Amino acid sequence: MKGKIAVACVFLLPALGQVERNIPYAEPKNERQLLDVYKPEAGSNLPVVVWVHGGGWMRGSKDEMNHKPAAFTEKGFVFVAVNYRFVPQVRMGEIVRDVAKAVGWVQGNISRHRGDPRRIFLMGHSAGAQLAALLCTDSRYIEAEGVPRSVIKGCVPVDGDTYDVPLQVATATARRLSLKQPPPKMGHPEKFGNLEEQREYSAVSHVARNRGIAPFLILHVADHTDTSAQAYRLWAALDQAGVAARLFGAEESDHVKLDRDLGLAGDPATKALLEFTDQQLRRRQ
């Protein structure tokens, strides 16, 4: 209801174990700075997935997780879905800091939900992919919330188109001019700001050797021109810096379907995702 803040509630659902919804991670409480915690019915010191939803930095919700919470809790993870504020109500930097603050809440509180604050995977789709990738390459945001880079054990950005924002702006501008299309009212320059700000919010700008960047699995739609180009751009930057990174292009999929199907049995991208998390957890035992 407009003007009212949701209250944290605990539910028991057969497929999901225990779910606690609408936990505030910032004050004063508001609906865009809440998170949900899904956890198995048993276990302790469980690895944690933090998921950042997409929606063009202007829409979307933590309530749109589809199959992901069930898939991860069945595998023994605590799954955290995060809301954040939107442009144009706030600037991009505030959105980035919202997600960092949510990660700070997880690191400081997840042990009370049977999660391990030293084993966090940061993931997101579309706009959430940009936010996850940025926080995993530029640790200043999470460190400002008391989170050491070392607790991030893996990063999985899914079908993002803004790991290199200036490149995407140039690509979109050239396409629009060739097609004689008018500029959008709220395109990437309006969302990200000037060229300096676009570079600041690009994950590739912060990739460097010996910075302790966690391994990446970059999921993208195989025949989506923009997100494939951006996926390869991020992978190349990570690979050149000696950061473990893998690309996975989903065949016969699209931007919405790739996210919606994650967690389904038999889904190839889900298989790659779970193999990645298993591999990282085995490496760090």
For the stretch 24-58, pLDDT in tens is 999 999 999 999 999 999 999 999 999 999 999 99
Query: What region does 234 belong to: left with phi over 0, alpha with psi -120 to 50, or beta?
Result: alpha
**CATH architecture of the region 9-283:** 3-Layer(aba) Sandwich (3.40)
Segment 89-106 mean pLDDT: 98
Q: How far is CA 130 from CA 19, 21, 54, 109, 230, in A?
A: 27, 24, 9, 25, 10
Half-sphere exposure of 281 (CA within 13 A, CB side): 18
Q: Which residues pair with 125 in a beta bridge?
A: 158
Q: What is the pLDDT of residue 235?
A: 98
pTM of the predicted structure, to 2 decimals? 0.93
Q: What is the pLDDT of residue 184?
A: 87
